[in-house]
Every structure is written in C-alpha cells, then in structure tokens.
C-alpha cells in the first residue's frame, strides 16, 4: 500500500508510536516558529528548561501580532523576545518584517520538513509541502529543546481539485467551498491533502491561502505536493536548493475524499460569525458595507496585492467605505512599491497599514457599531474584530477590492480580465534586513536577556487531584472559540505575558461576570458543547482558566490544540460518554468526580451531576495522563 505525502513526511520523522489513526505518535521537529502574542510565554517556558541553545534546524521568533507599542509593555516584550532569541540560537524577525506565516514560507520553509508553530495558522507552510502544525507554546518550547512533538496519528482526507479557476474566482473561494462542504468540525482528526489536475495550476501563494485556512476546518494540517510550482517559487526566492519533489503514491489510501470543481466555482463569502457559514457573493450582491480590510496571513502575498491594485487602479473607493490594506511582508511591500501597485492603492483611497496582523486580531480598525466589514482574513468569530456586533464577512481579495469600489457587496467575476491571477515574477525582491541572526555560541554565553516589568511569572500548576468536586462556573454552547475564552485585540494583547491581568477578560464576550465568579469560587469546572476551544493555538485560553482555579473542562468534544493546551496546563479535559448528558448540567450546580487516579488508566469516570450518575471519558494518550499527574508539561519535562 502506498503513502500519502503527509504519511511520507511522518514516516521520515517518526520517533515514537505507530502510524495507526488515533494512536499517539511522536515527531522529530525540524523547524519552529513563534509570534509575539504567544512567544513571550513560549520563551519563558523554554528558558525554564535550562537548555542553552535550540536543537532544531531553524527556529524563528516573529513580531507581528502586536506592533502598536501603545505602552512600554509591548515594547518590553519585543525586547525580551529579541534578546532571548539572540542568546538561544533563534532567528528574530523584527516588527514590520511581516506576518510570521507569510515570511516563513518566503524565507525559511522547506518542502519535506516538519514545522510546529505557536500559532494555529502554521499549516500555511503546507503550501510549499511542509508538514506544518499549530501547537501550544509549551509544545514549541519542548521542540526547541529537541523534544518530540506528539499528536494523535491523523486520518487522511483528499481534496480533489478539478478544472480551472475562472476570472474573479480565487484560491480563497476554493477553501471557502471546502469549509462549506466540511464545516469547522469537518477536518478534526484529519490531514487534508490537495490532489488532482487542478493542483498544478495553483501557484504557491494560492496554495498557502488554502492551507492557511485549513485551520478553520479543525484539521491537524493541510498539505500540497512539492512540484514545479514549488520549485519555481523557491527559485524566485533564491532558494532553489531547498526544493525537493514530493508527491503521494498512486495507490495511497485516503479515509475520505471530496471534490472541488474549480471551473464551476463562483466567488463566496463566509458570513457572520463562522468561517463555514458560506453564501455566494451573488446572493449578497448589492448589500451595504462599511469597511473592507485586505491582508492577514491568508491573503497578503504579492500576488494578492497586485490583483487588488489592478482592480483599484485609476478608481476611487466608495464614500461609505473605509479600506485598509496590510501587505504580508516587507518583501511584498517593497515589491508593491517597486512596481507602482502601492501608488494605485494609495490613489484609490486605501489606508496602507504596516506588514502585520493588524485588524485580523482586533489591533485597531474595529468596525462601527453593527458595521459590515469585508475581510480577506480567515476568522470572523464573534467579537474578534473588536466590535461585538460587527458583521464580518470573509472574502477573497478580488471580492474585497470590487466591493470597496462599489460600496456594496460586488461580484468580481463581473470584472473580467482585470481579475485574472497574476503571474509570479522569476525573482522576488529579497531583502532580509528585517531578520536578525542569533549570536554565536561564544557570544551567547554572556549575552543578557532583558525582561520588562510586564512579564509576570507563569501560573502555578498542580498535580491532578484524586477527587474534583467543584461548581460549574460556566456552561456554554457548541463551537466555543479561543476568542471567546481569551479575547485578543488592542486592549489585551499587551498583557500576553501577564496572566493575572489577562484573567480579568476571560470569557468577557460570553459572560463578563465569569472571571469574578471563578475567582470567588476558588475552584471550578467549565462545561462546553461540541468543538470546544476551536480557533487559535493560544495557550492563554488554558493558562488563564488555570489561574482562575478551573480544574476540569467537560465538553461534548474538543478542538485538538486546545485539548493539548489544557493537558499541558494540568487541567483535565473530559468528554461526555453520552452527549445528551450535557443537558443534565446546570450552571452553578456542582459536579463531583471521584477516584480520578484509579479511573484515569481506563479513561472512564463516573461523575455526580445534579443527582445523576454521568459517565465521562478521555482518550488521552498515556504520556498525557502522566503529564496531568505531574501537574502539567513543564513539571513533567523537568521531572524526567
Ligand atoms: C489568531 O489568529 O487567532 C492568532 C492570534 O494568530 C492566534 C494566536 C494567538 O492567539 O496569539 C492563533 O491563531 O493561534
Ligand atoms: Fe495574524 Fe490573523 Fe494570521 Fe492570526 S490569523 S496569524 S492574527 S494574520
């Protein structure tokens, strides 16, 4: 039996376990990335391991999420990351150099290698044939120290691409169609592999749009073959020597296959407040809009930006629309300047922002009350834009640009040839002035790591108790995201290294009284529905509940990264054996789970819930059970 592309890379990096779906496997990690919002924690965790130099082939620390520096907190965090990177063998990508995923595939990623990153969109690297996976900061810290990265062996899902994109239809519409077919839960437990005749016609930036937003499927990662398109892209980046060919075997077996007919595809939008709430632009056409934001790690390549500029050229955006454009990297930005596309954007009335995450993570540019915002981004979760009743639609750059001109939802396929994909140049403008190399081993020995006063110690974890009897502080519905649990945005991002302060905002958009009530109770349980913790990789969504005394989270099902983060933080994640038992739980009631140590081995627990006996289960791997008993990953790792 042949192998899929992902199976080939896994095989070459397997350090423990068997490649049997659902069983835990350990992978050797070649590269890591962090960004500033998760990086401070990850490096504090790495430092606590006492390892002088990273053991990966390449580790890169990016500053891209919070570049506002609206106070000393942020600037201090950046200085900390820069100094800790220099000392421990990590490349540092300065603020303004670009969004981690965009810069990583341009300058560092290599086909066939493994990459984990403390950001859920790390799978973007799958567009150049990497096995690139989003992880919590602690897992990244362990990988930097040479430890393996553990995941349940995923199943394989094939997306067969047929036909050819028509003018005005783009890679974004392909992934929106996949989301329509599979939903935000449809990728859980799978690696999504793209195959078929259509693949050859997609350039690397187009592929990266698709793999990036595969995160919204809940998939472990997504991957494309490494072929002539990949070689051409790497050659244009001056790194042809990094190319290797990668393809699946003809007799590779997939657990599931879906098809996207690119010829039949029309421009689509993900409507509020979920990336799988898909409608066609035709259905929405003519609807009023207030704001358009172009950029983010999904759609900020030079190919996307040049198309946008071509649509805007010589025209003026509608009076009712505010348009922002953030190029994905310094490389993209300078190429736009060089070819004149930047002038076309400026002249059309765009506000050109820094190469950073910006509006995507609520760093300014929040829409007006109930405002309709069209964004080329990947997430439209409730409140993420910074405006709770903001109506965010996720669209392609072509749809965004056409709508910014029209002042209403507009279908770019009516623009004809202007919206035809841009041919990548043979050479990109390469300028690595935004990347600082680490110190050599000798200099690193005496180098100082600078920590500002905003960096507070890591919250205390505790070994798993034998009995948990605690109040249900919060009961929530299906598809709760990490943006609900630990909101980001300009108000809170400066405090990503200050858990006590951050904890005030926990679940703010769902129930502003949560933090106070949890603190007052001293210990507590959260109960959730399906796909609890989808979205971001931020381990803060586990560390903050930990600091607020949460001992266990019981849900119908969990998103992969969040479940791993809970375990790493020493919080017990359990699922209902019978999902209907969720209905027996009342917020404010007490749940008691006895004999936890005895029952952990089998993974079956009996809980007392409002006078009923309820069966709870866990499918955690033995290693994860040991982590819980030790009191979290850091204690487990240091005790070894
Ligand atoms: C996001 O898109 O939600 C983020 C902000 O990039 C997060 C990381 C974070 O919360 O810092 C992610 O995707 O993991
Ligand atoms: Fe940044 Fe948005 Fe991408 Fe997250 S999804 S890495 S916030 S651009």
HEC readout, 126-192? HHHCCEEEECCHHHHHHHHCCCCEEEECCEEEEEEEECCCCCCCCHHHHHHHHHHHHCCCCCECEEE
pLDDT at residue 511 in the model: 97
Q: Are 524 and 470 in contact (CB under 8 A)?
A: yes
Minimal CA–CA distance to 37: which of 538, 562, 609? 538
Nearest CA to ligand 1 atom 11: 37
pTM greater than 0.95: yes
Is residue 538 flagged as an active site residue? Answer: yes
Q: 5-261 architecture in CATH?
A: 2-Layer Sandwich (3.30)
Model confidence at 639: pLDDT above 80: no
Residues 325-350 pLDDT 10s: 999 999 999 999 999 999 999 999 99
Q: 468-638 architecture in CATH?
A: Alpha-Beta Barrel (3.20)
Residues 445-471 pLDDT 10s: 999 999 999 999 888 899 999 999 999
Residue range 119-141: mean pLDDT, rounded? 98
Strand order in the sheet with 351-352: 278-280, 268-270, 391-394, 372-375, 291-294, 322-325, 351-352
- Mutation test of ligand 2: which of 99, 294, 379, 384 has the most ligand atoms closer than 8 Å to its C-beta? 99
Phi, psi of 609 (to 5 degrees): -130, 110
Q: Which parts of 460-532 fold into alpha helices (H)?
A: 482-485, 499-502, 514-521
Is residue 580 flagged as an active site residue? Answer: no
Alpha carbons 205 and 443: distance in angstroms, whole number? 38
Quickly state the pLDDT bin for 638 (edges 50, 70, 90). confident
Alpha carbons 632 and 163: distance in angstroms, whole number? 49
pLDDT at residue 608 in the model: 98
pLDDT at residue 70 in the model: 87
Nearest CA to ligand 1 atom 6: 119
pLDDT at residue 627 in the model: 98
What separation in angstroms does the CA of 508 have from each of 65, 516, 540, 569?
Answer: 21, 11, 14, 21
Minimal CA–CA distance to 387: which of 515, 272, 533, 528? 272
**Nearest ligand (C-alpha, residue 67):** 2
* Topology adopted by domain 268-419: Aconitase; domain 3 (3.30.499)
Minimal CA–CA distance to 531: which of 586, 575, 566, 487? 575
Q: Are 572 and 563 in contact (CB under 8 A)?
A: no
pLDDT at residue 358 in the model: 97
pLDDT at residue 421 in the model: 72
Helices 560-568 and 540-547: angle between axes, nearest 10 degrees: 40
Model confidence at 473: pLDDT above 90: yes
Q: How does DSSP assign 438-474, residue by residue?
A: PPPHHHHHHPPPP--TT--PPPPP-PPPS-EEEEEEE
- Residue at token pair 């997504």: 222
Model confidence at 420: pLDDT above 80: no
Nearest CA to ligand 2 atom 3: 297
In the chain, which segments carry CATH 3.20.19.10?
468-638
pLDDT at residue 347 in the model: 98
Residue range 275-280: mean pLDDT, rounded? 98
Q: Are 239 and 210 in contact (CB under 8 A)?
A: no
Q: Residues lining ligand 2, CB < 6 A?
A: 65, 99, 119, 121, 296-297, 357, 360-361, 377-378
Q: Which atom of ligand 1 is nearest to the CA of 361?
A: 5
Alpha carbons 95 and 92: distance in angstroms, whole number? 9
Is residue 64 flagged as an active site residue? Answer: yes
Kindly tell me the sign of the dihedral angle through the C-alpha atoms of 522, 564, 175, 329. positive
Residue range 399-423: mean pLDDT, rounded? 91
Helix (H, G, I), strand (E, B) or coil at 491: coil
Mention every residue, 6+ apart, whose C-beta is less than 8 A from residue 401.
292, 294, 307, 308, 311, 312, 412
pLDDT at residue 422 in the model: 80
Nearest CA to ligand 1 atom 2: 536
Residues 210-260 pLDDT 10s: 999 999 999 999 999 999 999 999 999 999 999 999 999 999 999 999 999
Helix (H, G, I), strand (E, B) or coil at 489: coil
Model confidence at 419: pLDDT above 80: no
In the chain, which segments carry CATH 3.30.499.10?
5-261, 268-419
- Mutation test of ligand 1: which of 117, 119, 122 has the most ligand atoms closer than 8 Å to its C-beta? 119
Q: Residues lining ligand 1, CB < 6 A?
A: 37-38, 65, 119-121, 134, 361, 488, 535-538
Alpha carbons 518 and 512: distance in angstroms, whole number? 11
Q: What average pLDDT is seen over the chain?
A: 97
Alpha carbons 435 and 235: distance in angstroms, whole number? 20
Residues 543-584 pLDDT 10s: 999 999 999 999 999 999 999 999 999 999 999 999 999 999
């Amino acid at each position: 039996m042949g192998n899929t592309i992902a199976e080939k890379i896994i095989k070459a990096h397997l350090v423990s376990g068997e490649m049997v779906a659902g069983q835990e496997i350990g992978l050797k990690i070649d590269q890591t990335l962090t960004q500033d919002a998760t990086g401070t924690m990850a490096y504090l965790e790495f430092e606590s391991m006492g390892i002088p130099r990273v053991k990966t082939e390449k580790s890169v620390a990016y500053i891209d999420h919070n570049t506002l520096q609206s106070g000393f907190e942020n600037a201090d965090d950046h200085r900390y990351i820069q100094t800790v990177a220099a000392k421990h063998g990590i490349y540092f990508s300065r603020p303004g150099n670009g969004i981690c995923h965009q810069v990583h595939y341009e300058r560092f990623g290599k086909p066939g290698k493994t990459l984990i990153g403390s950001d859920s969109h790390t799978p973007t690297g799958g567009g150049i044939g990497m096995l690139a996976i989003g992880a919590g900061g602690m897992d990244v810290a362990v990988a930097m120290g040479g430890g393996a990265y553990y995941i349940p062996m995923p199943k394989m899902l094939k997306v067969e691409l047929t036909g050819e994109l028509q003018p005005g239809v783009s890679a974004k519409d392909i992934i929106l169609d996949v989301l329509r077919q599979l939903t935000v839960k449809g990728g859980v437990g799978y690696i999504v592999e793209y195959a078929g005749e259509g693949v050859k016609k997609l350039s690397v930036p187009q592929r990266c749009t698709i793999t990036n937003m595969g995160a919204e499927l809940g998939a472990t990662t997504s991957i494309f073959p490494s072929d002539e398109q990949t070689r051409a892209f790497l050659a244009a980046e001056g790194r042809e020597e990094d190319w290797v060919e990668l393809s699946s075997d003809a007799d590779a077996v997939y657990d599931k296959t879906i098809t996207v007919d690119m010829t039949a595809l029309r421009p689509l939008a993900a409507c509020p407040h979920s990336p799988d709430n898909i409608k066609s632009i035709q259905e929405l056409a003519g609807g009023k809009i207030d704001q358009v934001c172009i950029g983010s790690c999904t759609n900020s390549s030079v190919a996307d930006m040049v198309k946008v500029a071509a649509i805007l050229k010589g025209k003026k955006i509608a009076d009712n629309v505010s348009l922002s454009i953030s190029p994905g990297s310094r490389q993209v930005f300078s190429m736009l300047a060089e070819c004149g596309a930047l002038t076309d954007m400026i002249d059309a009335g765009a506000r050109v922002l820094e190469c950073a995450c910006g509006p995507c993570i609520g760093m300014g540019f929040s829409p007006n009350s109930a405002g309709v915002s069209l964004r080329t981004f990947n997430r439209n979760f409730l409140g993420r834009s910074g405006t709770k009743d903001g109506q965010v639609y996720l669209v392609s750059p072509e749809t965004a640009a056409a709508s910014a001109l029209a002042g209403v939802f507009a279908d770019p396929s009516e623009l004809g040839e202007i919206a035809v994909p841009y041919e990548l140049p043979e050479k990109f403008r390469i300028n690595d002035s935004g990347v600082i190399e680490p110190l050599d081993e000798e200099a690193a020995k005496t180098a100082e790591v600078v920590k500002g006063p905003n960096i507070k110690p890591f919250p205390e974890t505790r070994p798993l108790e034998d009995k948990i009897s605690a109040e249900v502080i919060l009961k929530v519905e299906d598809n709760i995201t990490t943006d609900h649990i630990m909101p980001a945005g300009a108000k809170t991002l400066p405090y990503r290294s200050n858990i006590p302060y951050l904890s005030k905002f926990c679940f703010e958009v769902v129930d502003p009284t949560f933090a106070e009530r949890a603190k007052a109770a001293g210990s507590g349980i959260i109960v959730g529905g399906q796909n609890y913790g989808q979205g971001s990789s931020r381990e803060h969504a586990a560390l903050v509940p930990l600091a607020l005394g949460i001992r266990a989270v019981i849900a119908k099902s969990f998103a992969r990264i969040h479940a791993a983060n809970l375990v790493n933080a020493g919080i017990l994640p359990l699922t209902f054996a019978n999902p209907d038992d969720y209905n027996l739980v009342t917020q404010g009631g007490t749940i008691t789970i006895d004999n936890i140590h005895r029952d952990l081995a089998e993974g079956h627990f009996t809980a007392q819930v409002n006078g009923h006996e309820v069966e709870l289960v866990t499918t955690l791997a033995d290693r994860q059970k040991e982590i819980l008993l030790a009191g979290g990953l850091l204690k487990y790792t240091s005790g070894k």
